[in-house]
Structure 1
C-alpha cells in the first residue's frame, strides 16, 4: 500500500516536457506555429502579458521541482517500508495546486491523458485506504489525514479533467465516489500531519 503513494516519474516528465515546449516557443515565437498560437491564447485567456506568462512558466517549474523532491523523499521512505504522512499530504496539496492553477498549460493530448490517469490512480488509492481503514477511518489519525488531503486533490483533478475534456461528467459519476467534501482545512491537515511527524520522532527517542 505504501508504494501506492509514489507518483510515477513519467507523470513529472510529461509535465516538464510540455512546459519545455511552451517555454521554447515563447522564447522563439513563430506566428505560424501551432504551439505559439496556444501560448497567445493562454496569455489572452489569463489576461496577462507574455512577460507575465513567462513568469507563470517559472512558477510552474518551481512547483514541479518541489513535487519531484517530495516524491524522491517519499520514495526513500517506502524503501524502508515507512509511510510519511506529512510527505503524502504535501505532495497531495502540491499536485492540487498544479491542477488548480496550471491545468490550462496541459491541453495537449499527453496532458489530458495524464490528468485522466492521475484522477483514476488517486481515486484508486483513496478507495483502498477506505477499505483498509474499515468503517471508521476517523479512528486512525494517519488514514484520516491522508484521506482528507486526497479529497482535496481528487476534487481538483476531477475539475481539471473536466476542463481539459479528459473525462466526461458521465465518467465521473460512474466512479461512485459519494461525498468527498473535506472536513478539515488544508492548514489544519498540514498541522496534524506535522504533529504526526514529531510524535514519531519522540517515540524513536524514547
Structure 2
C-alpha cells in the first residue's frame, strides 16, 4: 500500500508560472497581461503586497518540492520492505502536507490545484478505509505505530476537508458521502512526532541488540 502522495508535475509547473507572473508584475508599473491582472486582483483581495504574495508562492513551491521528495523517501523505505513502517518519516510527511494545506489552501483555487486536492483526498480516503480497525482500543492503549499513523491521518484529513471546501473542489455532500467516521484527532502534532521518534529508536535499539 502507498502511504504518501505527491503533487502532480502540472501543479508544480503552475506554481513556477505564478512566481514568474508575479515577477513581471513587480517589474511592470502598468501590467496588461491577463495573468498579471489576476495576480494583482488576488493580492488586493487578500490585502497584501505583490512582493509578499510572490514570497508566499515561493514558499509554497519550496515546501511542495520538499513534500514530494519526502514522499519519495517514504515510499522507497516501504518498498525496501523494512520490518516496520518508517513511522517518523510518515508523520513528518503528513504534517508537512497539513502545513501546506493550512497555510496555502487559497493557492489551490485553480484547475490544477483543485484536481490535485480531489485526487489527494480520494487517495487518503482509500488509505483511511483500508486500515484494519481490529483491536483498535489495544493500539490506542499501547500508543502503537498504527495508532500514531491513524491519529496523524486524522489531522491531514481535517485539513484536506477545509481546503477542499475552501476552494470548492468538493462539496459538503460529497465529503459526507465518504462516511469517514471519527476523524477528530485526539493527539497533537507534538505528541505524535514524539511518539514516532520513540518508535524509531525502539526499532534501532532492537536491531542493535
TM-score by length of 1: 0.90
In structure 2, stretches of 5+ residues that fail to align are none
1:180 alignment partner, SS class? coil
Say yes or no: does 1:116 pair with 2:118.
yes
Query: Partners in 2 of 1:37 and 1:105 — Cα distance?
Result: 16
Given the superposition, is the C-alpha separation of residues 15 and 58 from structure 1 closer, same or farther in structure 2, using an over 3 Å criterion? same
Corresponding residue number in structure 1 for 2:3:
5
Asked if the contact 2:70/2:93 (under 8 Å) is kept, the reply is yes
Corresponding residue number in structure 2 for 1:45:
45
Deviation, structure 1 residue 175: 0.8
Say yes or no: does 1:164 pair with 2:167.
yes
Written as runs of structure 1 = structure 2, the 5 A alignment for 1:127-166 is 127-129=129-131, 132-136=132-136, 137-138=139-140, 139=142, 141-166=144-169
Query: Partners in 2 of 1:105 and 1:35 — Cα distance?
Result: 14
Give the counterpart of 2:182 among 166, 176, 179. Answer: 179
Name the Cα RMSD after superposition: 1.7
Deviation, structure 1 residue 69: 2.5
Corresponding residue number in structure 1 for 2:91:
89
Query: Partners in 2 of 1:87 and 1:46 — Cα distance?
Result: 34
1:117 alignment partner, SS class? helix
Query: Partners in 1 of 2:172 and 2:117 — Cα distance?
Result: 15
Asked if the contact 1:14/1:111 (under 8 Å) is kept, the reply is no
Corresponding residue number in structure 2 for 1:106:
108
Give the counterpart of 1:205 among 189, 205, 208. Answer: 208
Given the superposition, is the C-alpha separation of residues 118 and 159 from structure 1 closer, same or farther in structure 2, using an over 3 Å criterion? same
Which piece of structure 1 moves more, 139-148 or 182-191? 139-148
Q: Which has the higher helix share?
A: 1
Deviation, structure 1 residue 62: 2.3
Say yes or no: does 1:35 pair with 2:35.
yes
Say yes or no: does 1:189 pair with 2:157.
no
Deviation, structure 1 residue 192: 0.5
Asked if the contact 1:67/1:91 (under 8 Å) is kept, the reply is yes
Corresponding residue number in structure 1 for 2:12:
16
In structure 1, stretches of 5+ residues that fail to align are none
Query: Partners in 1 of 2:37 and 2:45 — Cα distance?
Result: 12
